[in-house]
Amino acid sequence: MEYRDKLVLAPMVRVGTLPFRLLAAEYGADITYGEEIIDHKFLKCERVTNESLGTTDFVEKGTDSVVFRTCPQERGRVVFQMGTSNAVRALKAAQIVCRDVSAIDINMGCPKSFSLSGGMGAALLSKPELIHDILTTLRRNLDTTVTCKIRLLNTPKDTVELARRIEKTGVPALAVHGRKIKDRPRDLAKWDEIADVVSALSIPVIANGDVFEYEDFKRIKDATGAASVMVARGAMWNASIFCAKGKTPWEDVKREYVRKSILWDNDVKSTKHTLKEMIMHYSCLELPEGKGVIKCDTSEDLARLYGEEDYYNFVVANRK
């Protein structure tokens, strides 16, 4: 995996499933992160070849619940992001999926309470010894690329010190979200503090925070000196942000996402969540479309709502 001069889709819970990753890649994303998956949950999964879809599924044992799905089309760019607080458990989980993805990334930036209470995500930022243990354990025992994503600490000095310690584990790149644990999305990302990390490291830094237009990729690279740029909300609202020719109207992107969700048999809850995020940004859930999405219980319902019944029927009829 090469980490210089790349446009990167950030990990987003309930958004970064296979259809959205493929959509982002079609518009120009070079590297696509899956949604964070907790090691405890993944250890309950088994690898299944889905002949009908042509995918590799990781299914929770004893259920039909697909926890992670990938396909050959994304083999060279998909990153599996894991939530963990234990090196041995992380290794066991990574060994299940490592041959089917291009890299394993450890989430060290999630500020949500469920991550913090489990000692995962941003809770790791105050535990440099555990970070070292997790990363070195994975790197010693896997042939797959291993990286991590952090967010800013309380002071620039603390962030740089941690970043240097992470670099010493031998990871080939580091993603940095330009906000602190207490910051909310409405707070401006601190590009200057990402720049401090870039200046201190020799490995590529992937800058993340406040990228909403294609022009912002260059702006944040110029401001921080980062090797690559990662985008979350900007891509969630309109995946064509990765296209140098300019954004495609969101209605067209939305429809293509629905079609891809049908094609790859995406979990309807995930599809609805992503659609609602798009609608809330550009329109309103209280309007007929938003209410219609909320009422949908199946992919067939969504197909009907968006006038894709013929496509849905064609796809289902032609599955092996």
Average pLDDT of span 34-45:
97
pLDDT at 34: 98
Class of domain 6-237: alpha beta
- The pLDDT, as a whole number, for residue 40 is 96
Sign of the CA dihedral 308, 313, 314, 320? positive
Q: Classify residue 50 as exposed, middle or buried by CB count within 10 Å of its CB (0-12, 13-18, 19+).
A: middle
The radius of gyration computed from the CA coordinates of the chain, to the nearest angstrom, equals 19
> And the tokens for 261?
């969700």
Q: How far apart are CA 215 and CA 307, in angstroms?
A: 34
Write down the mean pLDDT value for the chain: 97
Q: Which residue blocks in 121-229 are alpha helix, DSSP H? A: 128-141, 156-167, 191-200, 214-224
Instruction: Extract long-range pairs of 220-223: CB within 8 Å, 24+ residues apart.
Output: 220/191, 220/194, 223/191, 223/192, 223/195
Check whether 10 has a pLDDT greater than 90.
Answer: yes
- In angstroms, the Cα distances linking 202 to 26, 129, 162 are 31, 21, 14
Q: Percent of the chain beyond pLDDT 70? A: 100
pLDDT of residue 112: 85
> Of 206, 270, 277, whose CA–CA distance to 239 is shortest?
277
Q: For 59-100, how does the pLDDT look when each residue is reduced to its tens digit (9 = 90+)?
A: 999 999 999 999 999 999 999 999 999 999 999 999 999 999
Delimit the domains of the chain by residue range: 6-237, 250-318
- Overall average pLDDT of the 156-183 stretch: 97
Which of 104-113, 126-135, 163-172 bottoms out in mean pLDDT, i.e. has the lowest?
104-113
Query: Which sequence positions are flagged as catalytic?
Result: 110
Residue with tokens 């709502």: 305
- Asked if residues 151 and 180 have their Cβ atoms less than 8 Å apart, the reply is yes
* Mean pLDDT, rounded, for 191-218: 98
pTM of the model: 0.96
> What pLDDT is attached to residue 320?
74
pLDDT band at 113 (very low <50, low <70, confident <90, very high): confident
